[in-house]
């Protein structure tokens, strides 16, 4: 459990450091992400971005198990 928490912490720190570059890459504005904008309302549902992040995290955890 300790190893998992440390790994998650390191991943979060790396994501925090890489955040400016991740925003420029278009992550969060991919085709398939739903955005509804009205006058006083904005709804954002990142379906494609969530799927990509899920796949990457699944691969990372699978590699850490081996």
- Side-chain-side CA neighbours of 11 within 13 Å: the count stands at 12
Q: Decide: 42 and 51 in contact? Cβ < 8 Å.
A: no
Return the CA Rg of the chain: 15
pLDDT of amino acid 66:
76
pLDDT of amino acid 58:
93
Q: Rounded mean pLDDT of the chain?
A: 87
pLDDT of amino acid 22:
74
pTM of the model: 0.61
| Predicted confidence band of residue 4 (pLDDT cuts 50, 70, 90) | confident
| Ordered alpha helix ranges (H), the chain | 2-24, 47-65
Those residues with Cβ within 8 angstroms of residue 13's Cβ, 6 or more apart along the chain or in another chain = none
């Amino acid at each position: 459990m300790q190893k998992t928490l440390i790994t998650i912490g390191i991943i979060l720190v790396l994501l925090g450091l890489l955040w400016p570059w991740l925003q420029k890459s278009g992550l969060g504005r991919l085709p398939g992400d739903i955005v509804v904008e009205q006058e006083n309302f904005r709804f954002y549902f990142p379906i494609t971005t969530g799927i990509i992040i899920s796949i990457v995290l699944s691969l990372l955890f699978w590699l850490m198990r081996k």
